[in-house]
Every structure is written in C-alpha cells, then in structure tokens.
Amino acid sequence: MVQIPNPPPHSSPAPRPVPTSADVARLAGVSRATVSYVLNNTSAVRISEPTRRRVHEAAKELGYVPHAAARSLRAGHSRMVLMPAPDFPVGPLYSQFISELQWALGRLDYTVVQYGSIGVYGDEAARAWAELRPVAVLVPGAGLGPQGVSVLKRSGARAVVTLGPECVDGAHSLLMDHEAVGHCAGSHLFDRGRRRIGVVVPGEAGLESFSQPRLEGVRRALHGTDATVTELPLAYEEEAASRLAARWRELDLDAVFAYNDEYAMLVMRALQDEGVRIPEDTAVIGADDLMLGRLLRPRLSTVHIELPSGRDLAELVDRAVRNPGAAPETHKVLGASVVHRDSS
Amino acid sequence: MVQIPNPPPHSSPAPRPVPTSADVARLAGVSRATVSYVLNNTSAVRISEPTRRRVHEAAKELGYVPHAAARSLRAGHSRMVLMPAPDFPVGPLYSQFISELQWALGRLDYTVVQYGSIGVYGDEAARAWAELRPVAVLVPGAGLGPQGVSVLKRSGARAVVTLGPECVDGAHSLLMDHEAVGHCAGSHLFDRGRRRIGVVVPGEAGLESFSQPRLEGVRRALHGTDATVTELPLAYEEEAASRLAARWRELDLDAVFAYNDEYAMLVMRALQDEGVRIPEDTAVIGADDLMLGRLLRPRLSTVHIELPSGRDLAELVDRAVRNPGAAPETHKVLGASVVHRDSS
C-alpha cells in the first residue's frame, strides 16, 4: 500500500469551510430545526410558504447540501443499496444485469452504490462497507460469512442479500448454481455422442468462483459414464489459444465446453485456423447466450443463463428493508438450459 | 417514482441500536478519545499495547464499525472517490478502464464508489453526489456544469475531474475527443478509395454522446471532398442488421464505419449473409480494437482508442486532492489511430 504524505502546508490552502445547516438557518433567520423540516420535506410540521422559500433560497445561495450520513442517522436509515464492485472486467451479461437492477432500485427510490474495495475480501470488506451505513447490501459471489452479515446488520443495514453458490446465515440468499451450467453443457455433449471432453478454465483472476463450479458440473454430469474430462487452462489471448489448438490432435478431444461464449469464439477460431472441423472433429459449446454466438459460423451452441430479473431482485431488497425482522428468504435463481445450434 | 409506504409497525421490530464508540469505551473501560486514537491508528498519542488490545476486543465484541462520514468530518475529508455509474451496459473497453482505475486508486488508498443516480443528470446529480461527501469526483461524459462543480467543492470535494468533450469551469478536464475517432475512420476509408460512406449510429440510449461526435468526425474528414456520408441508425439486433443488409444494394454504399467493433461484427455478418463481399464490395471498419475483431474473417480493421491509463488518472486525482488550490489541469487524453487489417 502506498502511503501518501500530507501535502506541504504552503501548497494546500485551507479549503473554504463547508456550509452547514446552521449557516442556512442564520442566513434565513430561522431555527436549525426549521431548516431541517423544510429541506427534508417533513409534512408533520406546518411551515409557511414564505419561510420555506427563504430556507430554500438561503441553502441555494450558500451551496448547502445535506449530509447523507447525518440525514440517515436522523431518519434511522439511508436509501443507499451498496454492492461491492467486481474487481475484474465484467462481461456483457453482468453489465446488463447491473444496469437493470440500478433502474429497478432507482424506481423504488433507492440509490445503488458500487463499492470498489480492492484487495479486501469477505468479512473485512463488510466492515468497510458498513462504514457507509447502507440500508441494504447486495453481495454477488462467495466470500461474505455470517460474521460479515452480522457486522453489516449491527451497523444499521436492514437487509443483506447474497447472490452466490451457498446460503449465508442471517442473509437473504439468491442461490446461483454455476454447477448447473456445467452440468447442462456436459450432458449435452455426452448426448451428442462425445466422450473425450475438454473444459476451458479461464486464466483471469476473479473468475474462479464461476469456472470451478462449472468444471465440477461437467464432471458430475459425466460421472459413472465412459467419458473423460480434461481441464484446459487458458488465458484470454490469441497466442494462448493458438498454442492450445496446436496441441489439439495430441490432446485427442472430441468436444470442448469453453467456459463462456467469448472463450468459445477464441477457441473456435484457433481450432478452425488449425484445420479442426467444427463440429465434425470437435464439438464446441459456450455459455451466456450472447449475440456474438449467433453471428459465428458454425453458429455457436451455448448454455442460456437466466439471471434473476433486476425487478424481482429490487423487490426482494425492498421487501427485506421494509421488514428487517422477517426470516431470510432463499431463492434458487439461476436457470440454465442448452441452446443447441450448429457447433455441437 | 414509486412511493414506498412505511411498513406497518407490527411487521418491523425496532432494529437493535447501532453500537457507538461510547459503547466501546464503556466496555473497554477507557475514554472515547482513547477509542478514537486506537481505532484511527493515531500515532501522535502513546497508548499501551494492553489498552489497544482491550479497545480492539471491545469493538469486535460489539460489532462496532466507525462511521465513515463522522470520521471524514473529523479528518476534514474522506478517501472516497465518487464516479457516477454509467446508466447503460458498458462495453469491454470501459469495463477494463474502470477496473484499472479502481486498482490504481486503491493502491493510493482511495476507495472508488460508483454512484447510480438513475434519471438524474447534470447539476442535480452533483447535489446527490455531494451528500456522500467524496474527497474527489470523477465524471465521465458531458452534463456536469460549473454550478455542479461548485456544489461539489462547497460540500468538501477537493478535486473534480471531468472526462468529456469539453472543459468545465473549475474542474480538471480530461478531454476525450470522439470526433477524432470518426475522423480517423473517415480518412482511412477515403484513402482506401471509398467515396460512399455509411456511418452506423447505435439505437441504444446513452450512446449519443459518443456516436454523434464520431459521426461528426467522419463528416469533417470528408468535408470538401466528393465523398458522401450516409447515417445508418441501427439497433444492436440481428433482425435490424438483416433489414439493413437487405437494403444494401439500394443504399449503394462502398464502405461503412460501424461505430465500434461489436456493431461491425453484427453488420459484417449480415452483409456476408446477404452475399456482399468484404472488403471488395464494401469496406468495414470498427472502433475499440477489441480482440473479437482479430478473430473475425476477414480480420476487422478498427480504430484503436487510447483511454487514459488508470494509473495516470489516479495520479491526477491524487495530485488534485493534495493540492486543491492549484489551477485546473487540462489534458487531451484520447488517442485514436487506425489499425488496418483485411476488412477495409
């Protein structure tokens, strides 16, 4: 961790003081309580229109902005839903999901904040998130334990929702079963008569929590059959794919589950350049059902993954926030089904 | 906006009170000041190891988490760098950029928070961001005006950095010249002898601030020549691309700048399916220089876009935070250069 020295005093003039509600009250000639009532739009207290106007004008003139945290302390909770930001570049499926979720929560008057805690994981990360006093926390992936959930709840989070492979004590759990994705792919290839099946395992850090269960799912699908599973570690680079393709005859595989559609495109191109016929010599299947798979020739078979809809998830969060005492809900949310096209 | 009624009292048991530093002090048998010294790791004050341990144990037992906002009020500022989250699904280039930036700022001990204010733009959004009291705000895209900058600064932000087409008064500006991307593409196609040039304009909301200057750049590159520019609105859907391809002979174009590589893949496939030869009948060029362009056949020509490095940007933010009185810096950061492959 790089330590930042304080700036030398001469280079950093003292910033202008941040205006407070007391400043607004002084300028408007009213009490701080009145400022608070007006700016928080409290309907419980009758305040005359001219007074309201005076407060708003004073706030505007001073550039006063209420302090979210102070306000949330008064209100008992904020409207902030915190999500850890993924620490790897996300694919189109996840990006679409976040976009939808943001909209759906926005419509329910929540604000989504993606928190980028780099190099901090699990319960330690929970402590950092808790410092922002979110009303709800939505955690994709594994890593958060019951202790982290408890830290979040003790610091005022009314709901903790995990999207991961397992339930976490105290949290609502949306179970994402990535084994099912691999199981689908493995069964499909087996049903197509393939017996020597390669499974691509991406080299990028951060993808293990998806790739390992997918690999496991293929193994499970083929358990007790005469089929073999070969793990194929692969970086998302043309050169790496070419090296893999050059070893293809020697590997003697008749099918490959390529982790996702983007890896499938990479592998398929390298195999085609090497003269491997798809699907005759080797069947290829991806996952995610991206548009690009339909644009490839042969058209790419894939596993369609049904993420929870942003709207359903937003409603779960809202329900949980409004009823923090309710028992945690558990939903299985990841649908996986094969889309059979021409590559397998 | 959906209004959320308060939950009925019986469904929402009062949450346990959030532990405060006073609770920690009481349990550890020390003063609140000592708790603060220990938990903020203040080295100015000598505190014995057993006392430190007692405070840490008490904090742990109670599940006490310092309040970020309270701490930042004491410290004068937080370590939070706020970025508005894009309100459309992002492409791989942007996703990679955010990832890098997060890492680089993390190494300088900042935390990046992506704030998803849906349906709120410009200076109104700035007010919402200000409520979180970030130490710096990094705003991609247009929309923030001098008033927004001033709101942010008055509320304690020591640095505001915009990444957009124009300078904004009071903010550091990284100028992203998307016209240059279009200009590159247009000049390249002209130099390759093409004169009837189509420009894809994506139908997805949120992309106008990129697509319009790119179109403008093509026009500027071809201004005063005998070449024509035809705008091609296009949704990112196979059917839309097929419809466009079906009209291709009638449109009588000999080249297309497809906005980016993903649109280029879509258009190229539709044209190839229609029997249009690439590049003989129609030259195609994309932008972003994604891996997928190298995997297409013919290999896709593209405009390589040099985004600012996460590290440089992190250093600018840090410099600005450490010296909030310095004059705003302006840098032109978007490098655009043609990567000529086989499709043009």
Query: Rounded distance, CA B245 to CA B276, Å?
Result: 9
Query: Rounded distance, CA B261 to CA A113, Å?
Result: 30
- Each residue's pLDDT tens digit, A97-147: 888 898 899 889 898 999 987 767 777 889 888 888 899 999 987 778 898
Per-residue pLDDT, B163: 87
Nearest Cα to A325, choosing from A159, A174, A162, A167? A159
**Backbone dihedral angles phi then psi of residue A138, each to the nearest 5 degrees:** -120, 115
**Residue B301 DSSP label:** B
What residues of B are in contact with residue A103 (Cβ under 8 Å)? Answer: 87, 118
- Each residue's pLDDT tens digit, B5-48: 333 333 444 455 677 888 888 999 998 888 878 877 666 678 88
What residues of A are in contact with residue B160 (Cβ under 8 Å)? Answer: none
What integer is the mean pLDDT of A262-273? Answer: 98
Query: Rounded distance, CA B92 to CA B120, Å?
Result: 25
Query: In this predicted structure, which of A151-155, A174-178, B88-92, B215-219 has the lowest mean pLDDT?
Result: B88-92
Half-sphere exposure of A279 (CA within 13 A, CB side): 21
**Residue pairs spanning A and B at CB distance below 8 A:** 211
Domains defined along chain B, listed by start? 20-66 (1.10.260.40), 80-175+308-334 (3.40.50.2300), 178-306 (3.40.50.2300)
Which residues partner with B196 through β-bridges? B228
The confidence band for B331, taking pLDDT boundaries of 50, 70 and 90, is: confident
The confidence band for A13, taking pLDDT boundaries of 50, 70 and 90, is: very low
Contact A109 B322 (CB under 8 A): no
What integer is the mean pLDDT of A195-216? Answer: 92
Query: In this predicted structure, which of A246-250, B79-83, B161-165 has the lowest mean pLDDT?
Result: B161-165
Query: Rounded distance, CA B210 to CA B202, Å?
Result: 10
Whose tokens are 């189109």? That residue is: A92
Per 3-state DSSP, chain B is made up of helix, strand and coil in percentages (nearest 5) of: 45, 15, 40
Which comes out higher in pLDDT, residue B3 or A174? Answer: A174
C-alpha angle A290-A296-A299 in degrees, rounded to nearest 5: 85
pLDDT at A24 over 50: yes
What residues of B are in contact with residue A265 (Cβ under 8 Å)? Answer: 292, 295
- Tell me the three-class secondary structure of B177-231, residue by residue: CHHHHHHHHHHHHHHCCCCEEEEEEECCCCCHHHHHHHHHHHHHHHCCCCCEEEE
Q: Residue A279: helix, strand or coil by DSSP? A: coil
Distance (Å) from the alpha carbon of B249 to chain A's nearest alpha carbon: 22
Per-residue pLDDT, B44: 64
C-alpha angle B330-B331-B336 in degrees, rounded to nearest 5: 150
Per-residue pLDDT, A238: 96
Per-residue pLDDT, B79: 86
> Please, which residues have CB within 8 angstroms of residue B224's CB and are 6 or more apart in sequence?
none
What residues of A are in contact with residue B96 (Cβ under 8 Å)? Answer: 89
Nearest CA in chain B to A132: B68
The strand pair at B302-306 and B159-164 is best described as: unpaired
Contact B301, B341 (CB under 8 A): yes
Q: Quick check: ipTM above 0.90?
A: no
